[in-house]
Structure 1
Amino acid sequence: MGNRGMEELIPLVNRLHEALGTVGQSCSLHLPQIAVVGGQSAGKSSVLENFVGRDFLPRGSGIVTRRPLVLQLLNSNIEYGEFFHCKGKKFTDFDEIRREIETETRRLTGSNKGISPVPITLKIYSPHVLNLTLVDLPGITKVPVGDQPADIEYQIRDIIMQYICKENCLVLAVTPANTDLANSDALKLAKDVDPEGKLRLWRRTGISVADDRW
């Protein structure tokens, strides 16, 4: 179909997903997407915000992304955000988008570090983006905090695998520059589903920008 065909197809399939979602059904048609995988505080939020050119994701210590965030970027002449759970409401203030992500996260997970596999879907319309779907996933952790269950490591792994096991999913493994790549949990997960490295990118963040690889 070429790039033009894909540009037209992405919004159409997104609308199909929304229509079926409103009646409790799922769509088996999935377009290529990029899943961002990394440990807690690895720099995933910074990477995603670079795609958009705006600061809009919650920040903090420990596990901040506690539900998958499906981020649909759509090229448009005007810039605003729209949530699947707030249909018809346009968010032009990106600080307000951040607060809405935090509120919707707490609605299902509480305020004590619980997690949920139920995604938050956010569309961002902007003249500065390409039509693209990205998924921000909970950071990999091994030690439970707050009201997290003892098997939190395996629950987060299950959530991540639900996305990166799809054949059309490109895995963006984010690792801090001060971490030995041999010890990167994100790369280990990516290699589990993509042993030949055909659908995998990795990026170091923080200290050594010169070592970044896309």
Structure 2
Amino acid sequence: MNGLKYQVLKLVEALLDGDEERAWEVVRTNAQSGANSAYIFDVLLRNAMVQIGQLWEMNAISVADEHLASAICERLVARYRDTYLQEPERPSRGKVMLFCVEGEEHDLGLKMVAAAFEESGYETRLYGRNLPLEYARLAALRWHPDIIGISVTIVYHLPKLKSYIHAFESLAYRPQIVVGGRLASMYDLRPYVGPKTLIIADITDLQAWLNQPRAMPTSSHWGAKER
């Protein structure tokens, strides 16, 4: 077993045991060894939760086990942000609002996305799960974010995504729309979004985009393989 698989396995075991301190030790050790946020979020935490989800799908663990692991993982994200992500001294690069479409109850990945934006110098508002379109649009009109990030993780919510994209791409001030979530790395979401919407597959792709000059990309599927 290589080092990465061993680290993820240790994290999975700690999460399923309900041992937050043991799980935090895995995160802390990697962070102090030089791992960046993309590695912590994408490689460690995301892979651990994917494995736990697979165990639940195989009925190897209960829904209570999965909920416990998710709750601990959320606290690990918060602890990592508080411990290792310092507020940038440079002026804000812009404003970002993040939320899940109506009916979506999974916002753990969105919290990691918020941390990545904050680390890159953006003022971020995290609206979390299950935000109806009318309220999301009202929030955008009041705050005028430069970037609007939408998360979708369940296939049967994709028709709703089209309504959100249409509403936000119709705003007069033209914010950049970004779509992510579990489905972004599994399916081609381009039929559900507009030509100027950016699709981000994971935190690694997001950070690669954020490291580019501020000019908006011409491709609508950043970092994703052609399908």
TM-score (norm 2): 0.27
Greater share of helix: 2
Name the structure, 1 or 2, with higher relative contact order (CA <8 Å, separation 6+): 1
TM-score (norm 1): 0.28
Greater share of strand: 1
